[in-house]
Structure 1
Amino acid sequence: MTNILHHTFLKIISPVTTVILLANFWGLLPYNSTGNLAQPQANQNRSSSGQDFEYISPPPDAQLVSVGTTIAIRPGEVIKADSVSRDFFTVNGSSSGVHQGQTLLADDQKTVIFKPAKPFVNEETVTVSVRKGLITAAGETLAGITFDFATSPLKPPWPERQQPNRDDTAAVPDGQNLGYVTLPVDIPAITITISTKGARAAGYLFLSNISGNTTPYLLIIDDQGEPVYYKKVNQPTGDFKKQPNGQLTYWDQSALAFQVMNASYQIVDTYQAGNGYEADGHGLQLLPNGHALLMIYDLQTIDMSQIVPGGVPTATVAGLVVQELDTAKNVVFEWRSWDHFAITDTTVNTTSARIDYAHGNAVEQAHDGHLLISSRNLNEITKIDRNTGEVLWRLGGKQNEFTFINDNTNFYKQHDIRSLPNGHITLFDNGNDREPPYSRVVEYQLDEINKTATLISEYRNKPDIFASALGSAQRLSNGNILIGWGNGPNSDEKAGWDNVRPPNVTEVNPDGTKVFELTFAPPNVSYRAFRFPWQGQPVTRPTLVVQTDGATATLSYSWNGATEIATYHIYGGAAPKPTTLINTQIKTGFENTTVITGLNQTPYYFRVMPIDRNGNETRYSNEVAVLE
């Protein structure tokens, strides 16, 4: 009777959009009065045997579960593959009925996954029974388990939450600042203001420009500001970087997925979220075991009037979901903020119609294998047990468990939490809630037993730079830090800059001395900035453009993405596909230019051949014919 009243009332309030009611006096609550998802005590007769499993997903009694979810259990020990049978799971939806599906053992040999053949339906209770019979490698037979979870509808992502904030007011810069004719005209202009040879770390810069009216590109550039590689993308992008496996990845907004490129810049893989979700573009981490970590913004309709005074009854609240995908793209781990964070832990206005209460912007594998997440709108770094999903500790924010040492200010609205091999962490502290606001990069030594966070180092620019959004900090191989200043160059907080544009990227050595600095033409910024060693071997042709003036031909040529070229051979002749070598040029930058005079016959054909550092021919450029 209670359930009937519950569902009937939901439909009366909103026939289209589900409203999650939060009325304590009904005893039906997915939330308590603080905005936490309530976790009812499990029926001991139904789930007492669940102690054999360290990880269950969705968690027993979970609310707001995706209708596209898979079901996973993990005992923490290796499972004998021949003990996994397709009839281990019995899954029954209160509205959708019995679900058939595929049962499989993930590549960790520990996680057993049930993939329903069809999605669940909105607002139903799903009962899962796992029968006894799984056998561990040690020979132990595991008990069964029965548990329930409740589904909830998904909404489309907020468009502005799938890409970094940007300035929508400025004009398109002149992309021809280098005078190159083989570059697109809308490549953003770049100025290098500091570049100290021998002090910089090795490698190229990886950037992705974003702004309101300029064309977004993936960019690899060298220390002189010369392009090495560019790729025009359809929509603003971010997190363009080299992964530990040597591949390149970037966020593809149009596909709501991360694309993977090989050393030839060919797309060879795609990472999307599992369990019916759409991925968020803040970051993808590929792990040494071939697994991937990504984030999701899970939008739900919540009656915030039952949580805070003045709350909107049909508020759209974005929760954070973190997933680990195995090599077959199975979800082997899922963590949801709904199960652990109160909505009222947020720093944003909880009386708004839209509440991005966590705003996850980074997930990182810690030095000990567990997970770190950065929740910008909580001012918090959280450590999560990779095996169980339990919260191990919370650093910063309203639920801070640590004492800060040597730091007279906490971090605020941070980005880019990263774990160092020695257990220290670095992050980009945006500093939004600081007065006056300024951004910095910090490194903390964490004592996870005594709960202390000791500031080991800090870099704060002089004069200050304030990035209200975006930003990154990368520890480089030589100990330097590469800082991406996010939207700082476009900030209104520019005290001390005297109409000079602040930098987009700065590299400093351990004593804080600047050894590299880069500035985009306004209004371009980069969500993050990275430096990596890189060798690119494109499969595309080199580009040749020929401009003529009477008997003189000016040849401009380049090979987008090629890093190993030493010289160019120029071929010319009166017949197509000329093989007569007429000139040789040492590669000097992204584009080389050669002037050929005394053309006394037409047509005349040109093509160029890049020669690599080992003296090997690569592939011919396009052919250009001078007709008169």
Structure 2
Amino acid sequence: METDKNFLMNNLVNEDNYVTPFQSISPDGTNYVLGVKSNGSVVAVPEVHFIRPKWHLPYKAIGYSKDENDFYYYQGRSAVIMNHYGYVKHWIQEENNIQNFRRFENKLGQNSYVYTVQVHDTPMPKGNAGYWLCELVVLDENFKEIDRQRMKASGRIRDDYPMENHDYVYIDDGHYMIPTAYPNTVDNIPNVNGSYKVFNNVIQEVKNNQVVFHWESIDYPELYELSHYLNDPTECPSTGEKYLDFAHINSMFIDERDLNLLVSFKHIGILKIDRKTGAIMWMIAKNRCDIKGIDEKMIPSMQHDARYNYDHSITLFDDSGSTTDNARVMRY
């Protein structure tokens, strides 16, 4: 990780056109790149802030964003912070693919950077789940790693089993909610005899490496009957290799008013879950809706990214509306 002076000098731009860059050192020893705009004014940017990762494909920044906040993105095995001029400030590279790269503020008011990274030390069970097995990585404000987190031994889950990639909830450094899809054999599917293989969607709240909340989908047999996709248990008998993905967790969000959990299960609907007891408080689902005033046309199907907003409304991306089969954004 190093500053590429030639890259910076050749690519720094402003809102008028390219500056004519030259270097200068301030009294405190900071290196600056200076340039003159077409209107004659001068722009100065601390050179030390800009990094060009050696792996990054060559690119040229054309213009800049008037929003001076940084941009966060992940690309393959790398997570990157880029400033509003289009230059890399921080980056990290893993051995495997990265997802869900985000910035949070911890309880000390410092930045923490969090992402999930794919792991290959645990075989992924066969099925139509579309999960990655991964672990949560936390970096401090200097982009130094301070934590890696997987599932902890609790309920039916073995210790150090990988989480899955769709989502997580950062509460503070060392305090997270993480999900997984754990392979289990069950015999509690209503009105069906025999044992079958299913992905057990598990949510854990881990604080300082201790499990303080643990929830498993297979403890709620009614969810089998509410599933509307990949829900035929006879396709996944206990003697076979494939696992039934009747629920498919894909997002989690804490309601700041009561601290309970809003969860999207792609193959069922959105559920509010009591974070103390694990009870299902209500759901909006294709086969059941507990909220008055929501008609069939407002029911989501195959939805993603259910979350509360500043006004306590809920938004989600509805992949396939129940009555229209059209993708749409929903707000409740």
TM bin, normalised by shorter chain, reads: 0.5 to 0.7
* 2:213 alignment counterpart: 333
Contact 2:52/2:87 (8 A) holds in 1 = no
TM-score by length of structure 1 reads 0.36
Query: Relative to 1, partners in 2 of residues 1:307 and 1:224: Cα closer, same or farther, differing over 3 Å?
Result: farther
One-letter code aligned to 1:362: S
Say which one has the larger Rg: 1
1:374 counterpart = 2:279: no
Count, aligned residues: 253
Q: Which of residues 203, 220, 225 is equivalent to 2:69?
A: 203
Superposed counterparts of 1:40-59, under 5 Å: none
Superposed counterparts of 1:452-601, under 5 Å: none
One-letter code aligned to 2:115: Y
Q: Which of residues 336, 347, 368 is equivalent to 2:228?
A: 347
Query: Relative to 1, partners in 2 of residues 1:236 and 1:430: Cα closer, same or farther, differing over 3 Å?
Result: farther
Distance in 2 (CA, whole Å) between partners of 1:407 and 1:271 is 40
Distance in 2 (CA, whole Å) between partners of 1:192 and 1:408 is 44
One-letter code aligned to 1:330: Q
1:401 counterpart = 2:266: no
TM-score by length of structure 2 reads 0.64
Contact 1:207/1:219 (8 A) holds in 2 = yes
- Give the CA deviation at 1:338: 1.4
Q: Which of residues 427, 434, 437 is equivalent to 2:316?
A: 427
* 2:16 alignment counterpart: none
* 1:261 alignment counterpart: 139
The superposition leaves residues 324-367 of structure 1 with CA deviations (integer Å, 9 ceiling, x where unpaired) of 112x2111111111122431221213333332111111222112
1:279 counterpart = 2:145: no
- Give the CA deviation at 1:289: 9.2
Query: Relative to 1, partners in 2 of residues 1:388 and 1:221: Cα closer, same or farther, differing over 3 Å?
Result: same
* 2:276 alignment counterpart: 387
Query: Relative to 1, partners in 2 of residues 1:350 and 1:371: Cα closer, same or farther, differing over 3 Å?
Result: closer
Distance in 1 (CA, whole Å) between partners of 2:213 and 2:189 is 33
Superposed counterparts of 1:193-232, under 5 Å: 197=66, 203-209=69-75, 215-232=76-93
Query: Relative to 1, partners in 2 of residues 1:237 and 1:192: Cα closer, same or farther, differing over 3 Å?
Result: farther
* 2:331 alignment counterpart: 443
1:241 counterpart = 2:130: no
1:364 counterpart = 2:253: yes
- Give the CA deviation at 1:371: 1.4
Query: Relative to 1, partners in 2 of residues 1:429 and 1:221: Cα closer, same or farther, differing over 3 Å?
Result: farther
Superposed counterparts of 1:6-405, under 5 Å: 182-185=52-55, 187=57, 197=66, 203-209=69-75, 215-245=76-106, 246-254=111-119, 256-275=134-153, 276=158, 277-287=161-171, 291-302=175-186, 307=191, 315-326=196-207, 328-340=208-220, 341-351=222-232, 352-353=235-236, 354-367=243-256, 368-378=258-268, 380-404=269-293
Percent identity over the alignment is 22
Distance in 2 (CA, whole Å) between partners of 1:226 and 1:331 is 40
Distance in 1 (CA, whole Å) between partners of 2:217 and 2:173 is 25
Query: Relative to 1, partners in 2 of residues 1:224 and 1:294: Cα closer, same or farther, differing over 3 Å?
Result: same
SS, match of residue 105 in structure 2: coil
Contact 1:304/1:315 (8 A) holds in 2 = no
Query: Relative to 1, partners in 2 of residues 1:225 and 1:240: Cα closer, same or farther, differing over 3 Å?
Result: same
The superposition leaves residues 348-389 of structure 1 with CA deviations (integer Å, 9 ceiling, x where unpaired) of 1333333211111122211221111111111x1111112222
- Give the CA deviation at 1:291: 2.8
Contact 2:65/2:84 (8 A) holds in 1 = no
Contact 1:348/1:355 (8 A) holds in 2 = no
SS, match of residue 288 in structure 2: coil
Distance in 1 (CA, whole Å) between partners of 2:328 and 2:105 is 28
Distance in 1 (CA, whole Å) between partners of 2:189 and 2:260 is 36
SS, match of residue 299 in structure 1: strand
Query: Relative to 1, partners in 2 of residues 1:205 and 1:261: Cα closer, same or farther, differing over 3 Å?
Result: same
For structure 1, the residue ranges without an aligned partner over 5 or more in a row are: 1-175, 210-214, 445-628
Distance in 2 (CA, whole Å) between partners of 1:397 and 1:406 is 10
Please provide the CA RMSD for this pair: 3.6
Contact 2:247/2:265 (8 A) holds in 1 = yes
The superposition leaves residues 12-59 of structure 1 with CA deviations (integer Å, 9 ceiling, x where unpaired) of xxxxxxxxxxxxxxxxxxxxxxxxxxxxxxxxxxxxxxxxxxxxxxxx
One-letter code aligned to 1:431: S
SS, match of residue 306 in structure 2: strand
Distance in 1 (CA, whole Å) between partners of 2:226 and 2:59 is 42
